[in-house]
Amino acid sequence: MLNLNDPSLLVLHSLIGGVSGQGLRTYPVINPASEQIIAEISLLEEGMEAQALASAQAAQNPWAGLSGMERGRVLRRWGDLILTNEDDLARLLTHEQGKPLAEARAEIAYAADYFHWFSGEAERMYGRSLPVGAGRRHWVEQRALGVVAAITPWNFPAAMLARKLAAALAAGNAVIAKPAIETPFSALAIAQLGARAGIPDGLVNVLLTDQPERIGEWFCSEPKIAKISFTGSTAVGRWLLARAGDGVKPCTMELGGNAPFIVFADANIPAAVNGFIACKFRNAGQTCISANRLLVHMSIAAEFLSLLRDRLNLMCFGDGMQEGIDLGPLIHATACSRLQQKITDAKDKGAIVESFGIDRRASPIGSFFAPTLVTGVTPEMRLFNEESFGPIVAVTEFATCDEAILLANQTQYGLAAYVYSKDLTTINQCQKLLQFGMLGINEARLSHAYAPFGGIKNSGFGREGGLEGITHYQSQQFIAWSE
């Protein structure tokens, strides 16, 4: 039952030009913990996207014409409103996505961080003057791109939208957002708060659709859409890039991961276990930078796994609205089936599988998956090569630093990696040779509003967050002027 302090934050339709975009068809949004319908949303009708584009174009130029300080003030108010409404936003998020309420609150605060961070970056959109001779002036200006498309996933529906919206708007752009159909309420509520903060009508539009391919094709083919920013699977990223390439349309792609978590013989083992738990089981393992492969030095594997088993035994899973829940459900039953297929593949190839955790559900409903430890994982297994996106610990032992680096890099992905060691030579070697866009050294948290987030190889390109995040929503104009 959704008990909101401000019921108007539960929006059930697309937002186009600052007003309701109600269609004739509806779609039920399901709570993955209870399997109950939260509410039915109104879906986009064909032609509404053109209305969204027209309203975004009308709002964008006046917005870009404001000073960075003026845009920054609105973004800061927006971030403040998100924090003021943190409880309602977290409840919406837990109901639609399933994560424990404490994690949902942390995500909402993290979303606010992006508006606060980029409110400051809006004030610092510096160009530069270039040294030339008398009678001439050369300089570079930063320009907004225009209307950009933001496609966001279901695993962090508030934070991923905030990361794109705040940067794009700080740079002077308008945004047409398409949230995941499984988790629309966070995006709609955040957009609602943006209007209260002073965002002009039409500057941010939110489209609800169960036809993502049709909207994706439109984003790629419509010449008035200046850029696409996508967070999601590598397969969908490739699909979008193939179509955006026809129009030479710039894209930012934050795609899949297969993060190694490497624990060397000299590591602080309790600290490494704590870091691994935080990294692996956040959002029930449904994060792109989740530790996907646990690589442990063979001399400490028994000790590390013993401590890890103790922690896994105490993990409680159930409805995220309950107190004391560590793991919520996976997003749907299909996600559970995919995980089971990977575990079966590993078991058939010789791995050992153990299940853990305390089930706090009143009845066996919801798309839950117990914490699972799989030892003896080899590079031939799907658990080693594919992103799990669930609470599965896939363990591979190694003997040398060179072997650990070789195993870690044995993947098509390159988003994040983690290293636990006290030895500076080992750390230095890993830092130089690991092929990943982000690296945690005795540190399991990599995502911050002030830091660039992104990967290499099949994990995508471009960066979100940090100083780098705003640059992907700008173009540079060089001006040469002779008197």
113 class by beta-carbon count within 10 Å (0-12 exposed, 13-18 middle, 19+ buried): buried
Of 254, 386, 397, 464, which residue is the catalytic one? Answer: 254
SS3 state of residue 440: strand
Contacts of 264 (CB under 8 A, 6+ apart): 297, 401, 404, 419, 420, 421, 423, 426
Half-sphere exposure of 84 (CA within 13 A, CB side): 14
Both structure tokens of 376: 């003896």
Of 251, 279, 288, 401, which residue is the catalytic one? Answer: 288
Tokens 């966070």 correspond to 186
Torsion of CA 464, 217, 42, 32, to 10 degrees: -60
Query: What pairing do the DSSP bridges indicate for beta strands 174-178 and 204-206?
Result: parallel
Could you give the residue ranges of the DSSP H alpha helices within 4-85? Answer: 48-65, 68-84
Cβ–Cβ under 8 Å, residues 367 and 285: no
- Residue among 439, 437, 426, 384 nearest 407 (CA): 384
Catalytic residue list contains 96: no
Catalytic residue list contains 430: no
Cβ–Cβ under 8 Å, residues 399 and 356: no
Task: Quote the distance between the C-alpha of residue 219 and its chain's center.
Answer: 20
Residue 366's alpha-carbon distances to 17, 90, 154, 197, 324, in angstroms, are 37, 20, 17, 37, 18
- Residue among 53, 288, 91 nearest 177 (CA): 53
Rounded distance between C-alpha atoms, residue 206 and residue 199, angstroms: 14
Both structure tokens of 179: 């949230």
Residues labelled catalytic: 254, 288
